[in-house]
């Protein structure tokens, strides 16, 4: 997922260039100057955004997909003879989202266990939600810690299994928080910054054609990534890149956060993830 890709490429980048401090990256001798890097980025998503029809439809698709994931897990356990389902939380790192309580009701992943009539465990599910880096996926979850799967005989004190699903607006706000990534990493420059800085710093050959920057030698360091538009959107802000006449240096300028505009651009990717831009 995006946040894993960014962390991986950052690690590779630091290993290849040495442990460069953030202060030195901003030094005047560097080939890449960043404008508005620190005062335009935020991970705080407004609560009063108006989500466009496209975004709302994307959230419904993602919620449906994640609901299906839980239903399939329950069905598999039932087929193995389960008449009772229990939910056990698995400790999940909150490093990427220390502010998760602002966006979702629960964070840790969990595993479902199916028990037969004798109380024997007949099977366990995968970790749910399976897409751990996607904060919004926490909005879709099995509501009870113990319940009866559909079609099973009643058990005193237990109710039928219920899947909790959010309002589309709440899901989208968490999805947009996912899209912003980790604030400290964004301040360091992000995926585009890393590629551009690495190419210029090491004086690697690159081309500019039809508004696309392409540095072939970057592919080995950035998981195949080597090109991107010189104007576009990164996370929650716009960006533009202007190169010096000799193409040995560049200025990367970030525009202000425009959550109102971004809220209209949601799209469902890979069945379960809402991305923006």
At 185 the pLDDT is 37
Count of the separate structural domains present in the chain? 2
- Which pTM does this prediction carry? 0.68
DSSP state of 128: B
Asked if residue 238 is part of any domain, the answer here is: yes
As a residue count, the chain comes to 277
Mean pLDDT within 150-169 = 92
Maximum Cα interatomic distance, the chain, rounded to a whole number of Å: 78
Structural domain including 159 reads 53-166
Which residues have a Cβ under 8 Å from the Cβ of 261 and sit 6 or more positions away?
A: none
Beta strands, E only, 92-224: 109-115, 121-124, 141-142, 146-147, 163-164, 207-209, 212-214
Are the CB atoms for 253 and 33 separated by under 8 Å?
Answer: no
Top-ranked range on mean pLDDT: pick from 17-26, 199-208, 256-265: 199-208
Top-ranked range on mean pLDDT: pick from 188-197, 223-232, 254-263: 223-232
- Indicate the range of 7-16, 146-155, 187-196 predicted with least confidence: 7-16
Check residues 180 and 69 and name the one with the higher pLDDT.
69
At 236 the pLDDT is 59
Asked if residue 171 is part of any domain, the answer here is: no
Mean pLDDT within 92-97 = 87
Q: CA dist 263 to 62, 63, 137, 169, 277, Å?
A: 16, 17, 18, 10, 9
Q: CA dist 178 to 6, 115, 199, Å?
A: 13, 35, 28
Residue 25 has pLDDT above 60, yes or no: no
Residue 102 and residue 133 in one domain: yes
How many helices (H) does the chain have, and how many strands (E)? 7, 15
Gyration radius from the chain CA atoms? 23
Q: Is 136 exposed, middle or buried (0-12, 13-18, 19+ CB in 10 A)?
A: buried
Which residues have a Cβ under 8 Å from the Cβ of 135 and sit 6 or more positions away?
A: 96, 97, 100, 103, 104, 174, 175, 177, 178
At 235 the pLDDT is 55
Asked if residue 235 is part of any domain, the answer here is: yes
Asked if residue 176 is part of any domain, the answer here is: no
Residue 109 and residue 150 in one domain: yes
Query: Which of the four pLDDT bands, split at 50, 70 and 90, describes residue 198?
Result: very high
């Amino acid at each position: 997922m995006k946040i894993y890709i960014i962390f991986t490429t950052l690690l590779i980048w630091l290993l290849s260039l040495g442990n460069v401090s953030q202060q030195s990256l901003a030094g005047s001798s560097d080939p890449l100057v960043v404008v508005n890097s620190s005062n335009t980025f935020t991970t705080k998503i407004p609560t009063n955004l108006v989500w466009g029809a496209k975004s709302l439809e994307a959230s419904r698709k993602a919620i449906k997909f994640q609901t299906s994931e839980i239903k399939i897990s329950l069905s598999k356990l039932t087929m193995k003879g389960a008449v009772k389902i229990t939910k056990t939380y698995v400790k999940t790192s909150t490093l990427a989202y220390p502010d998760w309580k602002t966006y979702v009701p629960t964070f840790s992943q969990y595993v479902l266990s199916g028990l037969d009539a004798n109380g024997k465990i007949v099977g366990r599910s995968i970790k749910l939600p399976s897409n751990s880096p996607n904060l919004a996926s926490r909005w879709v979850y099995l509501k009870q810690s113990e319940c009866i799967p559909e079609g099973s005989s009643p058990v005193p004190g237990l109710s039928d299994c219920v899947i909790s699903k959010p309002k589309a607006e709440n899901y989208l706000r968490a999805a947009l928080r996912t899209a912003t990534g980790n604030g400290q990493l964004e301040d360091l420059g992000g995926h585009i910054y890393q590629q551009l800085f690495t190419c210029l710093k090491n004086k690697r050959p690159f081309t500019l054609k039809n508004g696309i920057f392409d540095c072939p030698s970057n592919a080995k360091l950035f998981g195949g990534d080597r090109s991107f538009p010189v104007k576009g959107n990164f996370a929650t802000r716009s960006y533009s890149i202007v190169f010096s006449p000799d193409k040995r240096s560049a200025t990367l300028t970030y525009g202000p956060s425009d959550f109102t505009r971004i809220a209209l651009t949601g799209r469902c990717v890979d069945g379960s993830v809402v991305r923006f831009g």
